[in-house]
A and B are shown apart, each in its own frame.
Chain A
Amino acid sequence: MHIGSSLALCFQATVFSILVSLILVYSSPLPVLQPLANTLSKLRYLPLTGITFYLAMLVSNARTMQISVLVIFMSLYFITSLLAVLKDVPAEEIDHARSLKCTRWEVLWEVIIKGRLDYVIDVLRQNLAMTWMMLVTVESILVAAGGLGVLIKNSDKFMNHGRIVALQLVILLVGLLLDWLLRATRKSLFKYSTF
C-alpha cells in the first residue's frame, strides 16, 4: 500500500511537472518566455525548506502539498535538462527542415518535439532518480499522506535499523525498476534512438 502511495505520488508529480516544463521549454524560443525559463532553471538551487514554507500558506491538503513540492522541485530540474536538449539541437536540423518548406510550427513539431521525444524520456529517466530520492523526504515532511518515506521516518524514530535497511532496499529496487521501465519504453517506442 505504501509503495503504491509513493508510486502514485511520483506519477502525479511527474505528469504535472513534465507538462509544465515541456510547455515552458518549447515556448522558450519566444523572447518573452526565454528569461522566465532561464530564471526558473537557476531556481533549482533554492532550498526545499524555503518552498514548503510558502506553499504551506497556500495549500492545506497534505497530498496536494506533497505533489506541489515535488512538481516545483522536478520542474526546475526538468526545465534545466530540457533547455540543454533544446540547445543541443544542431542548426543543420533546423535548416534541413526549412529547406523542405517547413513552417515555423512544422519545424517545432518535427525537429524539436517529435525529433527529440526520446531525449525527453531520457531526461525524465535521469531526473526521476533525484525525484525518487526526494520523494522519501517529501513524504516524511508530511506524514499524514503515507508512503515509503513515512515508513522510514517511523522506523528511524524507533531506531529500527533493520527495517530502515529493508525499506532502503525496497526503494532502491523500485527506483531501479522505474529506470529500467523508462529505458525499455524509450528503446521500444523510439527504434531510431541509439544512445
Chain B
Amino acid sequence: MATTALAYEQKGIILHVENLSVSYGDKAIIRDINFSEKDTVRPNRQQGQIIAFLGRSGRGKSTLFRALTGLEKPATGRVLIPDLSKTVTNGQQPAKQVQEGDVGFVNQKYTLFRHKTVYNTLLFALRKTTLSAPEKHEKIMQYLSDWGLDACKDQFPNFLSGGQRQRTAILEQLLSSGHYMVLDEPFSGLDIGNIMNVKKSFQLINESHELNTIIFSTHDIELAVELADSIYILGYKEENGQLGSVGTILKHFDLKQMGLAWQDCFTGQHLECVQMIKDLMLKS
C-alpha cells in the first residue's frame, strides 16, 4: 500500500545546531554537527515535532543530547532555540543559546527526586513559573488526570510502576522546560505495554502545542520511522577508506517530505526507509 503525503507548512526555525563539537579531554566525541528544524504546521491540526536520532552504540548520541540540553559545554559551536521571552522583530523570533533547563532531559533510567511524591515533583517543576499556588494545583491536577497519574499522586518514585515513573519523569520535564524535550532511549528495555504508554505520552505532548518538540534516540529503527517526522543518523564517517572515531551526522531523513510522517499505518515505503537506515548504520 502506498502512502499519501500529508499537507504541511514550515514556519520559523525552532532548533538550530551549528558546528557543534564535544570533547572529553583530548578525545573528540562528536564533531561538525549541523542541523536546523522548523516549526511544522498542519492544516486544522495542532501538532508539534518529533525528531529521532539513530546510530550505533558509542556514536555520541547521549553526548549530543547532553549538549542539546545545555548539560554539556560544547568545545565548538552552539545550539540555538527561539527566545520566546522577547518580541518578534522583522517577522523573526530572536534566538538564544540553549541553557540548562531550557530543554527538558529524560534519561534512560527516568530519574526523579527520590524524596518527592509525584505531586511534589510536579510542584517543584513549576516553582519558577509565575502561577499562583491555586493555579499550580489546578494545572498539576489536570495533568495528573490527563496522564493517568491521579491515583498515585502521593506516592514516592520507589513505589511507582515503570510506566508511572516514565510518565512522571516526562511530565516533570515538560512542566519545567516548556516546549522542548530530549529523551535518551526512552524505549530501551520496555515491554510492549510500556512502549505503548510512552508512545501515548509522545502523542499527548505533541498535540498539546505546535512548538512542542520531542527529540529522542532509539535502537528500534521501525519505531523511529513510525513515530518521527524527522530522522538523523549519527555515526562515524569514512575517512581515507577507514572508519573514523568521531560521531557526526551522516544523513537526514525528512519523513514529512518523503510522505512517510503522520501515517496511520506502516507501509512498504516505511520498510524501504527502515532498510536504507539499517544499511547506512551498518556502514557507520
Contacts and interface: CB of A to CB of B under 8 A. Distances in A.
Q: Do A and B come from one complex?
A: yes
Interface of A: 90, 92-93, 95-101, 110-111, 114-115, 117, 190-192, 194
Contacts of B269: none
Interface string B104-128: 1101010111110000000011001
A194 B156 CA distance: 11
Interface residue SS majority, chain A: helix
A109 to B, nearest CB: 11
A96 to B, nearest CB: 4
Interface stretch (B171-179, B202-210, B255-263): B171-179
Given A99-B100, A100-B125, A100-B176, A93 B111 contact: yes
14 contacts: A90-B111, A92-B109, A92-B111, A95-B66, A95-B107, A96-B112, A99-B105, A99-B176, A100-B172, A117-B115, A190-B115, A191-B156, A192-B157, A192-B158
Given A92-B107, A192-B156, A192-B157, A99 B114 contact: no
> Which size class do B's interface residues fall under?
20 to 34
B166 to A, nearest CB: 14
Contact of B104 (A93, A99, A190, A191): A99
B177 A99 contact: yes
Contacts of B66: 95
Contacts of B159: 192
B58 interface: no
Most chain B CB atoms below 10 A, which of A90, A100, A111? A100
Given A90-B111, A100-B173, A115-B113, 4 more contacts: A110-B113, A115-B114, A115-B115, A192-B157
A21 to B, nearest CB: 21
A114 B105 contact: no
B106 to A, nearest CB: 8
B274 interface: no
